[in-house]
Amino acid sequence: MRPRSTLSRRWLPAVAALVAPILACQPDADPTSLTAPLVVSRSAVAEELASPGWQGTAATLVAEANLPAVVSTRAYSLLGVAQYLAVQRAEDGNRDDGREVGPRGSDHGAVAGASAVVLTYLFPLKTQALEDMVKAQRGAGPGFARGEVIGRAVGAEIVARAGTDGFATPFTGTIPVGSGLWTSNTAPATVAGGQLPGVRPWFLTSASQFRPGRPPAFGSARFLAALAEIRNISDTRTGEQVQIATGWAQGVGTATTAGFWLQVATDAINSHGLSERQATHLYALLSASMFDAQIGCWDAKETYWFIRPWQADPGITVVAAVGKPNHPSYPSGHSCLSSSAGAVLSAFFPKDRKQFGAMVTEAGMSRMYGGIHYAFDIEAGQRLGRSVAGFAMRADKSGRSVLTPNHDQESHGRKPR
C-alpha cells in the first residue's frame, strides 16, 4: 500500500471544517440557512475586495441547495468568468477597438452586478436576497452604479451562454454491460453527469482533447495488483485514513470539491493582497479549468466505462461519508479537478507549489482510502487535470481566450492584465 500523505495531520483540520458549507453569509448564522439578508464575508470586507464575498455566497448557496459536484463546478465557473470579464470591462472604460464608449466603472459595482445576475440565474429563489446584497453595497465608492450596469450586462451574456452550453441536455447514450464494466447504482440504469462530454467547455477544443489511454485490462496482473491494494486498504483501514476520506468527500450539502479549491484561492488572495482584477482573474481561470477538467474526465469515464473497486471485489467496503458515486471509475473526478486546481494555484503562487501538490496528492489518496478508486484512476486523473490547466493557462496568456473581452475579434490583440 502507498504511504500516507505527510500533509494529513496538519491540513486535515481545515479540510474537515470545509465538509460543512464554507463561508457563512452571516457571521453568526447557520451557513446552510439563508433566511436573513446576505452580506459580504468578513474577509472580503477586510481586504476591500468584492469577489471573495460573492464567491463565499455562491459556496453557501451550493451547499444549501445540495447541488451535486458536477452541477456546482459549472455554477462556479459561470460566476468566476462573469466576475473577471466584468472587472476588465469596467476598468477599461468598456472600450471597443480602443475607443472609449463609456466611463469607467468601479470593480465593486462590476463584481456585484455580474454576480447577482449569474447567481439569480442559478438560484432563482434567492433573487430578492441577492438584490438586497447589491443594494447594501451601493455606497462602496464612486463609479459603483456604472460598474453595476457593466457587470449586469456581462452577467446577462454569461447566462445566455449557459443557456446554450448543452448542460441541460439529458444523457441519451447507451450504458454498456459486460465483464469488467461499471454497473449503475439505479434501475433503470443512469449515469451521474452523463451529459458532460457534450457540454461546451471554456477552453478545450473537444472533450476528448486530453483523453487518457486505456486503463489496465480487467483481470490483468496490473489490474489485480491495483484491486488488491484497495482490498488491503479496506481490510486494514485506519481511523486516520477514514478521517482523510471523510474530510475530502465534499459531497452534497457542502461547497463540493470545486468550492473547496476556490476557498483555498480566497485564502491565498487575502494573504497575498491581490487586487480585485488579480483575484477575479484567479477565480475565473481556476473555476473554468476545473469545469473543463470535469468535462474531459467524464469523456474518459464514458469511453472506458470501467468497473469500480467494490464492484470488482464485493469484499471491499466503502467509507460511508464517501458513498458510491454513480459513474464509472476511470479516471478519478476528484483528481481531475484537484490537479487542475493545484496547477492554476501554483502558477499564481509559485512559492506555495509544494503545499498545493501535497493537497492534490492527499485528495487522490482519500479516494483510495474511501474504497472507490484504484491508483491508476488517480494517476490518470492527475495527468488529465494538469494537461487541461496547462492548456487553459496558455490560452489565457495568449490574450485570445474566453477570458479576454471581445476575444472573438482577434484584431483587438488585448491581453488580460
> Residue 386 has what pLDDT?
98
Q: What is the pLDDT of residues 104-114, one digit of tens each?
A: 889 999 999 99
Distance, CA of 246 to CA of 367 (rounded, Å): 9
> Residue 99 has what pLDDT?
54
Distance, CA of 332 to CA of 376 (rounded, Å): 9
From first to last of the 417 residues of the chain, give the pLDDT tens digit.
Answer: 343 333 444 444 443 343 333 333 322 222 222 223 333 333 333 348 999 999 999 999 999 999 999 999 999 999 999 999 999 999 987 554 445 556 688 999 999 999 999 999 999 999 999 999 999 999 877 899 999 999 999 999 999 999 999 999 999 999 999 999 999 999 999 999 999 999 999 999 999 999 999 999 999 999 999 999 999 999 999 999 999 999 999 999 999 999 999 999 999 999 999 999 999 999 999 999 999 999 999 999 999 999 999 999 999 999 999 999 999 999 999 999 999 999 999 999 999 999 999 999 999 999 999 999 999 999 999 999 999 999 999 999 999 999 998 764 333 333 333
Element (DSSP H or E) covering residue 299: helix 276-304
In the CATH hierarchy, which fold is given to the domain comprising 8-168+192-412? Vanadium-containing Chloroperoxidase; domain 2 (1.10.606)
Phi, psi angles (nearest 5°) of residue 282:
-65, -50
| 3-state SS class at 181 | strand
In this structure, the number of other CB atoms found within 10 A of the CB of residue 370 comes to 30
Distance, CA of 319 to CA of 305 (rounded, Å): 22
> Residue 29 has what pLDDT?
26
Q: Is 28 exposed, middle or buried (0-12, 13-18, 19+ CB in 10 A)?
A: exposed
Q: What is the pLDDT of residues 41-90, one digit of tens each?
A: 333 333 489 999 999 999 999 999 999 999 999 999 999 999 999 999 99
> Residue 139 has what pLDDT?
81
Distance, CA of 337 to CA of 333 (rounded, Å): 6
Residues 6+ apart with CB under 8 A from 364: 332, 334, 335, 338, 373, 378, 381, 382
CB 78 within 8 A of CB 120: no
Cell of 76: 462556479
> Residue 242 has what pLDDT?
98
Residues 6+ apart with CB under 8 A from 128: none
> Residue 94 has what pLDDT?
55
Distance, CA of 112 to CA of 108 (rounded, Å): 6
Question: By C-alpha distance, which of 221, 408, 235, 251 is closest to 326?
Answer: 251
> Residue 42 has what pLDDT?
33
Distance, CA of 152 to CA of 386 (rounded, Å): 33
Q: Report helix angle 144-162 to 107-122, nearest 10.
A: 30
Domain layout of the chain by residue ranges: 8-168+192-412
In this structure, the number of other CB atoms found within 10 A of the CB of residue 229 comes to 16
Alpha carbon distances (Å) from 174 to 171, 206, 342, 392? 9, 21, 34, 31
pTM beyond 0.85, yes or no: yes
> Residue 159 has what pLDDT?
98
